[in-house]
Structure 1
Amino acid sequence: MTVKHRAAIDTLVAYKPGRAPAAGRPKVKLSSNEMPFGPLPSVLDAIARAATTLNRYPDFHRLDLTEALAARHGVDPSQVVVDNGSGALLQVLASVIAGPGDEILYAWRAFESYPIVTTVAGATGVTVPLDGRHTHDLPAMAAAATDRTRMVVVCNPNNPTGTVVSRAELNRLLDALPDDVLVVLDEAYWDFVTDPDAPCGLDLVTERPNVAVLRTFSKAYGLAGLRVGYCVTRPETADLIRKSIVGFSVSTLAQAGALASLTPEADVELKQRVAHVVEERARLTGELVRMGVPAVPSQANFVFMPMPDGPARFTAFEERGVILRAYGTDGLRVTVGTAEENDRFLALAAELLRRS
């Protein structure tokens, strides 16, 4: 017998993480948009030192990390909220901004957590298809907003397609929405953006009263296993989040690792690692296009390949030792790995994806 619960939860499609290699079977995992390199040595040292204090609770308010992030981004600490991943912050925002009878608007296909956090909040999800460039159709999103819309999510770069909207397009969307509708800019992959016309959400926070930016240490910083993300927004919105997050939700190790990642020493190596990803991203895209494989130009650490037979192609890759991410009949996504991992993927792509 199932306990009584909200009927809407029965309709949820649970989040499915990227497939991991089975025990004892060596495979190349390019399914979860992880950084292919481990934590920086200085970060590991900071984590090891912090481990000696694990008999104590972590800093409830994440003060040192909050202040460091505020200094880095040139905002007041009252505008920064740290939690255990940007996904957790998205869930809190959905719950404090919207509820039964309200609408949360987002593009599709985009990050698979969006419909989950919307349903858990009790709100109604309104989806707008991506345009022909596999990019957010911001004019259509503006047209889809109603007086029930409480929150609009823009994933930029978009997961899984890697596309970005332009600064002008985003400003037109913001102009079209009331100032009391929160616009959440999910910038988990911002560190990999090289397009000079891509808008930086942090700039918009200072200009607009209704913008919240989500960023994470899981991607470029290589700390996916620690679960640290943060939100930068106006102080009033930040206060709503602080009232609602779970206490002590960012561990001592996570705070220490994230804080050590913000030092000048770590910045140098981080930029080198990001440069590798950007260079390899271009190589992957160029080789796929040369093979005749559709590949969407990406600003993230992955490349999306639209194809209706994605699940079958996914299986063929996995049987040969490379794990990708399939999105039903929409396509396949490959994470940018090390040069050697990318070579292995490309060798298989020439066999399994090449168009005659």
Structure 2
Amino acid sequence: MTETNSTAQSSVHPRPVVGLLPKYAAGKPPEAVPGLESFKLSSNENPLGPVPAVLEVLHSASGVNRYPDTSCTLLRNALAAFFDVPAEDVVTGAGSLGALNQILAAFAGQNTDGAQDEVVYAWRSFEAYPICVGLAGAKSIQVPVRADGSHDLDAMAEAVTKNTKVVLLCTPNNPTGPALSAQDTEDFIRRIPTNVVVVVDEAYAEFVRDERAVDGLALYRKYPNVLVLRTFSKAHGMAGLRVGYSISQPGITQYLRAAATPFAVSSIAEQAAVASVENYAQVVQRVQSLVDERDRVTAGLAALGWSVPDAQGNFVWLELGVNTQEFAALAQSHALSVRAFGDEGVRVSIGETEANTRFLEICATYTKAPRRS
């Protein structure tokens, strides 16, 4: 008797690369604990949300039966005026992750002869990098971060070969925290062939207070192979609306537009992003309040004798090693969800004041803290 579709075992299989990809693990929500308010500190979300003007846009939204402007003209013009760049140099995407996928689709993958392009990036860094690179058909070249969580730019430069098509620089680095310096980054770019696209991923740029930190826009203006990647998810508090963008010179943008997903940014999201740009002073105030909380947390950890990398994003990194899962479970038992990375460490987002205080209280009682050697 011939098996039907309802009884036969599936013979459908994905591309081999899919089975080799790591699984993206989104930050989990906190578990309910009697007597405690729960807080999510696992996804680097902005707990303050967007500015009031964005909420007004969302409340009055209409026209959802129509397709959005696939070029995001209103937002590109707003960003062009804000950054003093040509609107043609701005390409939008569904979050910075969507914009990144457009970059990889355009510049890195598997060639007609079957050879794979290479994408060089620091590791550990943004968890989605190996997934995006693998799905594009390219090969990941991961260069370990230094002991302080920063990029080893010398080692990354040495890892570039004739097969390298893209280099990803995550600054501040997620999840470890340090930002790249302007001088070190420019020295690095000068060592890289001009046919290699250098992506300066600045998802957390608004939180940086290190005066030596790199300014991706300054490098984009100077080097035709530099591309800046940014998002409205973090500082602007619009993670659920999925709005990101890249800024690069025409020699790059012409190909990004060819690889862009049509209608990736909804009309509502575009209008909300424009409203946030137009009220940027309020965004800055909210970001500064989170930076103040970040500084309070890092100072509190230092007072406890904990060793943590320089935190320039909206999170701190605890290199707990084999104690990673234990600490994450302890935080969960206190109604805090944090992001555990295997047996490497824990990333803790800066959240509400009460959540941050509770996190410090947990650390004060934990006896296996990361210490300076």
Q: TM-score, normalised by structure 2?
A: 0.91
Are 2:289 and 1:279 aligned? no
Q: What one-letter code is carried by the residue in structure 2 that aligns with 1:303?
A: V
- Indicate the residue corresponding to 2:4 in structure 1: none
> For 1:326-347, what per-residue CA distance to the aligned partner results, in whole angstroms no more than 9, with x for missing partners?
1122211111112122112111
> For 1:8-45, what per-residue CA distance to the aligned partner results, in whole angstroms no more than 9, with x for missing partners?
11111121111113589852111100111122111111
CA contact (8 A) 2:102 2:261 kept: no
- Indicate the residue corresponding to 2:319 in structure 1: 306
Q: What one-letter code is carried by the residue in structure 2 that aligns with 1:19?
A: K
Inter-partner Cα distance in structure 1 for 2:330 and 2:355? 17
CA contact (8 A) 1:288 1:294 kept: yes
Aligned alpha-carbon RMSD (Å): 1.6
Inter-partner Cα distance in structure 2 for 1:353 and 1:61? 53
Are 2:306 and 1:329 aligned? no
Q: Deviation at 1:123?
A: 0.8
- Indicate the residue corresponding to 1:37 in structure 2: 48
Inter-partner Cα distance in structure 2 for 1:342 and 1:68? 35
- The structure number with the bigger radius of gyration is 2
Unaligned runs of 5+ in 2: 1-9, 111-115
Unaligned runs of 5+ in 1: none
CA contact (8 A) 1:292 1:354 kept: no
Identity of counterpart residues, as a percentage?
40
Inter-partner Cα distance in structure 1 for 2:344 and 2:82? 38
> For 1:267-295, what per-residue CA distance to the aligned partner results, in whole angstroms no more than 9, with x for missing partners?
22211111111111111011112112222
Are 2:152 and 1:143 aligned? no
Q: Secondary structure at the match of 2:273?
A: helix
CA contact (8 A) 1:70 1:76 kept: yes
> For 1:94-135, what per-residue CA distance to the aligned partner results, in whole angstroms no more than 9, with x for missing partners?
121112221000000000111011111111110100012210
How many residues align? The count is 353
CA contact (8 A) 1:84 1:229 kept: yes
Inter-partner Cα distance in structure 2 for 1:2 and 1:196? 57
Inter-partner Cα distance in structure 1 for 2:131 and 2:285? 35
Q: Deviation at 1:48?
A: 2.3
Q: What one-letter code is carried by the residue in structure 1 that aligns with 2:56?
A: D
- Indicate the residue corresponding to 1:244 in structure 2: 259
Are 2:334 and 1:320 aligned? yes
Q: What one-letter code is carried by the residue in structure 2 that aligns with 1:66?
A: R
- Indicate the residue corresponding to 1:13 in structure 2: 22
Q: TM-score, normalised by structure 1?
A: 0.96
Q: Secondary structure at the match of 2:179?
A: coil
> For 1:269-327, what per-residue CA distance to the aligned partner results, in whole angstroms no more than 9, with x for missing partners?
21111111111111101111211222212110001111111111101111221111111
Q: Secondary structure at the match of 2:19?
A: helix
Matches within 5 A, 1:101-116: 101-116=116-131
CA contact (8 A) 1:188 1:214 kept: yes
Q: Deviation at 1:193?
A: 0.5
Matches within 5 A, 1:186-201: 186-201=201-216
- Indicate the residue corresponding to 1:259 in structure 2: 274
Q: What one-letter code is carried by the residue in structure 2 that aligns with 1:29?
A: K
2:83 to 61, 67, 73: 73
Inter-partner Cα distance in structure 2 for 1:91 and 1:222? 22
Q: Secondary structure at the match of 1:106?
A: strand
Q: Deviation at 1:6?
A: 1.8
Inter-partner Cα distance in structure 2 for 1:5 and 1:349? 44
CA contact (8 A) 2:176 2:311 kept: yes
CA separation of 1:235 and 1:351: change in aligned 2, threshold 3 A = same
- Indicate the residue corresponding to 2:362 in structure 1: 348
